Amino acid sequence: METEDDLCQSNWGRSSSKLGNQTFTRANQKWEDASILDYEMDMEPPSLQVFQQMKSSGQDNNNNNTQVNADFLQGVRAQAWDPRTMLSNLSFMEQKIHQLQDLVHLIVGGRNGELAAQQQQQELITTDLTSIIIQLISTAGSLLPSVKHNMSTAPGPLFTGQPGGSSSAMFPYPREANNVASQTQSIDLPKPQPPLAAALVADVEREEHEMKDEDDAEEGENLPPGSYEILQLEKEEILAPHTHFCTICGKGFKRDANLRMHMRGHGDEYKTPAALAKPNKESLPGSEPVLIKRYSCPFPGCKRNKEHKKFQPLKTILCVKNHYKRTHCDKSFTCSRCHTKKFSVIADLKTHEKHCGKNKWLCSCGTTFSRKDKLFGHIALFQGHTPAILVEDTKLSAVASTQRENANNNNNNSNSDAGMVGFDLGSASNLNQETALQQHSEFMEEKISFEESFSPLSFDTCNFGGFHEFPRPMFDDSETSFQMLISSACGFSPRNGGGTGGSVSNTSL
């Protein structure tokens, strides 16, 4: 594999080297899947990522390319030994033979083109031919009922060398080859794709949008081992920031759509509706049943790793990515609101941030709940847990009481000055500021004289702090807003200062 790597690097440089590598891996993989047919893929982990990348990079040039890849996958998926699979394999082979015919036709028809281009094209066609033939062989091999068990004993040495070597020789430009192949295919052979396959070979984009937590959702899925194929991506592939690369400048993208948009800048051929269209959309319904793909986590010992006794496969690549990041990576994203919650998947952080701070239902044990009934269920369940009252409530009353004291001091120490201050604060919302001011200053003196002469109590009922900003009882039906205005105009709040009874049933002035 190293040699292939080197080769690719020399051909495409840094950014695309990986792609090349993956392409070869893919070829390799095919062989393994098709022929080895046991689940110990120790020499090279299955790399569906590659397919996806391949697919997307192919889509840049031609969106039908996806179909080719899908075909590949179908061909590879010859594992189970039920008649349906046999049938599907046979039909697959039939298709491949058609493709082969088309390619040969192309070679025949392409003789009269420009020399350089012709030569290059021929090379590509040759590559495609090779790949199709390899697929045919592998599928045919899988048709042998006895092969599976025999081969599982000594799979590695028999097959690894050959495709690796041949691929390095035969796939110098794998993607171009694919492009050509798919182009031809799209022209000559609009190949039916079964709806099942369309559903399973899911569109990456859609997955990225919708399937955030799929790896949990599939928990209950009890596929019999062997009814699906297992692919395992490498850690680096999982953590790669970009999954779609421009074949021309090598720029990476997270989404295929973005890449397609990008590709427009590289020439008019990428601006055609066909080039811009979403891949996989035009897949026609067919009858071909497809083997389900499932993914394994590369982390040894993980339940999602295929070596695990109770292995539970992951459904999609996105699941793999999210699972790997969530379970085996550092949680590097911290919530900017609460500064406590950490996430390794940025989508999780965003989801959390949407609700962060809304978990206002708090238990005395410190647990927060987004729903009140959940909190009450929790409290009903546990002894000694009690609902925790929000801090604002107590803080507010504390503030109110301190302010009241301050106001009282004001009241005791100073004269109408304090009253004026209180008024200014209190009547900020008063429309009739002028008149109220007059009234207030008038009556302030009167009031003080009243207090001094009549009140038998130590009089601390009038405050000049302007407490109107504190919440007033909203339920006091009889209390009109007018009275509120007035009382606030006098800086005199019944709750904080005077303490009117709940049954104030009148209005003043």
User: Can you give the binding site for another protein, defined by CB under 8 A?
Assistant: 372-373, 376, 379-380, 384-387, 389-390, 393-394, 397, 400-401, 439, 443-444, 446-447, 450-451, 454-459, 461-462, 473, 475-476, 486-487, 490, 492, 494-495, 497-509
Least Å distance between CB 359 and another protein?
14
Least Å distance between CB 447 and another protein?
3
Q: Which two tokens stand for residue 112?
A: 């009269």
CB-facing half-sphere around the CA of 474: CA atoms within 13 A: 2
Contact 160, 24 (CB under 8 A): no
Q: Which two tokens stand for residue 27?
A: 């070829």
Q: Which two tokens stand for residue 443?
A: 């009556």
Strand runs (DSSP E) across 233-319, as ranges?
A: 244-245, 252-253, 292-296
Least Å distance between CB 441 and another protein?
11
**Nearest residue (CB) to another protein, 38 versus 476:** 476
Least Å distance between CB 424 and another protein?
17
Handedness of CA 263, 265, 266, 271 (dihedral sign): positive
**Nearest residue (CB) to another protein, 268 versus 373:** 373
**Nearest residue (CB) to another protein, 3 versus 449:** 449
Q: Computed over its alpha carbons, how large is the radius of gyration of the chain? A: 37
Q: How far apart, in whole angstroms, are the C-alpha atoms of residue 73 and residue 82? A: 18
Q: Which two tokens stand for residue 376?
A: 């009450």
Can you tell me which residue has the tokens 């590369």? 298
**Nearest residue (CB) to another protein, 175 versus 440:** 440
Least Å distance between CB 335 and another protein?
25
Q: What is the dihedral of CA 350, 353, 354, 359, to 10 degrees?
A: 140
Backbone dihedral region of 185: left (phi > 0), alpha (psi from -120 to 50 degrees) or beta? alpha
Least Å distance between CB 428 and another protein?
19
**Nearest residue (CB) to another protein, 221 versus 443:** 443
CB count in 10 Å sphere of residue 261: 13
Strand runs (DSSP E) across 302-441, as ranges?
A: 333-334, 342-343, 361-362, 368-369
**Nearest residue (CB) to another protein, 19 versus 363:** 363
**Nearest residue (CB) to another protein, 216 versus 417:** 417
**Nearest residue (CB) to another protein, 183 versus 461:** 461
Least Å distance between CB 492 and another protein?
5
Least Å distance between CB 472 and another protein?
9
CB count in 10 Å sphere of residue 280: 23
Q: What is the dihedral of CA 210, 216, 218, 223, to 10 degrees?
A: 150
Can you tell me which residue has the tokens 């106001």? 407
Among 77, 55, 53, 50, CA closest to 66: 55
Handedness of CA 74, 79, 83, 84 (dihedral sign): negative
* DSSP designation for 20: H
Amino acid identity of 419? G
**Nearest residue (CB) to another protein, 115 versus 380:** 380
Beta bridge partners of 295: 231, 314
**Nearest residue (CB) to another protein, 153 versus 481:** 481
Least Å distance between CB 471 and another protein?
9
**Nearest residue (CB) to another protein, 115 versus 381:** 381
Least Å distance between CB 495 and another protein?
5
Least Å distance between CB 312 and another protein?
37
Amino acid identity of 116? A
* DSSP designation for 220: G
